[in-house]
């Protein structure tokens, strides 16, 4: 099948069995022509190949009546080979966070801004810019999703090799930091370009849809109008998706913010894997190691009595009679802790203790203590902290990208909030 797929890529229509024998890459000994014919006949029966009589080499009546066939890929065989090729490429693809895509997005948005400023923009340029912008966004989203899914798997697979994880750690952290810094630096500019285009993008979307409609099959006028409206709606949906990648609508967080959060979360995962490896290298015990040692101790015991004593010591199976006995009862009828439960005297349990799990002591109920003063003090403290945070937010929230030098002198509360926000970012 690989030979026929290669012939298809080389624009060759058909292959003979002897050509398959010569051109195929056989892992071992080259099979005979009869074996190849049997395999080709089986593939034809399965629907992967199509067989046609080969009359080009007929030189006698005997050759005419001899079964000779030319083989080529069927439609089903082409679909199978294309699916296998896509599957192999998907498995072998290394996902990546595309910092170059952010630059390409900004370039295409600037081009759209320039086209929107023209009185009669070129439909070809508009369609090309929008199409390239969508392709870049698709690649950025797919690669980002695949990368974040593969980071955890890569960490898990490399946990067995200490040196591989340590070497991979620094490369991954540098890679993630570089992408996060580029994403933070360009997200504000991209969001501002999207906001500038938001009120002027509709004519450009209509131009792109009209240019795509030229390739549609001819039909009646209502059908063409419906096709144009459908294409315009498709471009509007794409633009909304592009905008939501960098602009939050108040209810749904921007995808760039989610991506940045996932990238930042990958660093603690990697550090946790490295810390686990360091603990194993330093010889610290964990729960699994404790259970293995305990199992070895059980195997080394010489009798059941030693095993029972080890069981009680290992799992803290201390006598629990004091849980349901009052002090007077315990002192009046002392029972040694070594007494087996089967030999100990019975304990009378109060019905309320059995039903409710607690035994209320006799006597008047204690008075309820009023805590109005403490509640007022806590409410005043919360209100003061909220006022401090609101005042600090009023200073720090500008609605635009702000340099550190523009903040000026901050008080203690505003500076503390600024450090917290900087740490979360």
Q: Cα 55 vs. chain centroid, distance in angstroms?
A: 57
Q: Please, what is the angle between helix 221-246 and helix 123-158, to 10°?
A: 50
In the predicted structure, residue 50 carries a pLDDT above the cut 60: yes
C-alpha–C-alpha distance, residues 158 and 168, integer Å: 9
The CA distance from 328 to 344, in Å, is 18
Q: How many CB atoms lie within 10 A of CB 270?
A: 21
Averaged pLDDT, 279-304:
79
Structure confidence by residue, pLDDT tens digits, 171-196: 777 777 777 778 777 888 888 888 88
In a domain, 383, yes or no: no
Structural domain containing residue 24: 2-90
Q: What is the CATH number of the domain that holds 268?
A: 1.20.58
- In the block, tokens 């896509």 appear at 86
Alpha carbons 8 and 50: distance in angstroms, whole number: 13
Question: Is residue 367 one of the residues assigned to a domain?
Answer: no
Q: Are residues 292 and 269 in the same domain?
A: no
- In this structure, the answer to whether residues 145 and 258 fall within a common structural domain is yes
Structure tokens at 291: 């259970």
Which of these three, 90, 121, 138, is where a domain ends? 90
Query: Nearest CA to 407 among 35, 399, 67, 415?
Result: 415
Same domain, 65 and 199: no
**Is residue 333 domain-shared with residue 266, that is, in the same domain?**
no
3-state secondary structure of 72: strand
Note whether residue 390 is domain-resident. no
Mean pLDDT throughout 75-101?
71
Give the tens place of pLDDT for each residue, 302-322. Answer: 898 898 888 888 886 665 554
Are 119 and 217 within one domain? yes
**Can you give the pTM of this predicted structure?**
0.46
Report the candidate in 282, 327, 254 with the shortest Cα–Cα distance to residue 162.
282
221-246 helix and 255-281 helix, angle to the nearest 10 degrees:
50
Q: How far apart are CA 230 and CA 220, in angstroms?
A: 16
* 105 and 252 assigned to the same domain: yes
- Does residue 164 sit in the same domain as residue 47? no
Res. 30: pLDDT tops 50: yes
Average pLDDT over residues 274-284: 65
Average pLDDT over residues 111-137: 87
Contact (Cβ atoms closer than 8 angstroms) between residue 77 and residue 47: yes
pLDDT tens digits, one per residue of 364-422: 766 777 888 889 999 999 998 888 888 888 777 777 777 777 777 878 878 887 788 77
User: What secondary structure does DSSP assign to 190-251, as a single string?
Assistant: HHHHHHHHHTTHHHHHHHHHHHHHTTSPP--HHHHHHHHHHHHHHHHHHHHHHHHHH---SS
Q: How many domains does the chain have?
A: 3
Per-position b or e across 32-67, b if 16+ CB within 10 A of its CB: eeeebbeebbebbeeebbbbeebeeeeeeeeeeeee
**CATH number, domain containing residue 57:** 1.10.10
Least confident of 49-58, 132-141, 314-323, 404-413: 314-323
């Amino acid at each position: 099948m690989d030979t026929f797929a290669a012939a298809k890529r080389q624009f060759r229509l058909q292959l003979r069995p002897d050509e398959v024998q010569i051109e195929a890459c056989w892992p071992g000994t080259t099979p005979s022509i009869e074996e190849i014919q049997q395999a080709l006949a089986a593939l034809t029966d399965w629907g992967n190949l199509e067989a046609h009589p080969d009359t080009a080499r007929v030189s006698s009546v005997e050759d005419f009546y001899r079964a000779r066939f030319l083989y080529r890929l069927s439609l089903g065989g082409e679909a199978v080979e294309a699916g296998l090729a896509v599957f192999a490429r998907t498995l072998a693809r290394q996902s990546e966070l595309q910092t170059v895509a952010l630059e390409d997005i900004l370039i295409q948005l600037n081009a759209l801004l320039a086209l929107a400023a023209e009185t009669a923009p070129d439909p070809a340029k508009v369609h090309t810019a929008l199409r390239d912008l969508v392709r870049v966004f698709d690649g950025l989203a797919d690669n980002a999703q695949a990368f974040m899914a593969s980071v955890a798997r890569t960490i898990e697979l490399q946990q067995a090799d200490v040196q591989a994880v340590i070497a991979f750690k620094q490369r991954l952290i540098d890679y993630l930091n570089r992408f996060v810094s580029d994403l933070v630096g360009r997200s504000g500019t991209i969001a501002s370009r999207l906001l500038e285009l938001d009120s002027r993008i509709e004519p450009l979307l209509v131009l792109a849809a009209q240019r795509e409609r030229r390739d549609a099959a001819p039909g009646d006028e209502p059908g063409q109008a419906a096709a144009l409206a459908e294409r315009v709606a498709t471009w509007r949906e794409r633009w909304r998706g592009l905008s939501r990648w960098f602009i939050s609508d108040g209810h749904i967080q921007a995808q760039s913010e989610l991506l940045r959060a996932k990238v930042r979360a990958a660093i603690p995962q990697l550090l946790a894997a490295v810390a686990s490896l360091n603990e194993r290298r330093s010889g610290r015990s964990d729960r699994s190691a404790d259970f293995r040692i305990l199992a070895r101790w059980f195997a080394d015991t010489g009798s059941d009595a030693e095993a029972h004593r080890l069981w009680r010591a290992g799992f803290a199976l201390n006598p629990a009679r004091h849980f349901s006995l009052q002090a007077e009862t315990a002192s009046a009828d002392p029972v040694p802790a070594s007494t087996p439960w089967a030999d100990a005297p019975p304990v009378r349990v109060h019905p309320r203790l059995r039903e409710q799990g607690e035994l209320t002591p006799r006597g008047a109920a204690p008075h309820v203590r009023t805590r109005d003063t403490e509640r007022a003090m806590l409410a005043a403290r919360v209100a003061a902290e909220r006022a401090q945070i609101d005042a600090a937010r009023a200073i720090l929230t500008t609605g635009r990208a702000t340099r550190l030098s523009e903040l000026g002198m901050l008080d203690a509360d505003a500076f503390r909030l600024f450090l917290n926000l900087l740490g979360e970012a």
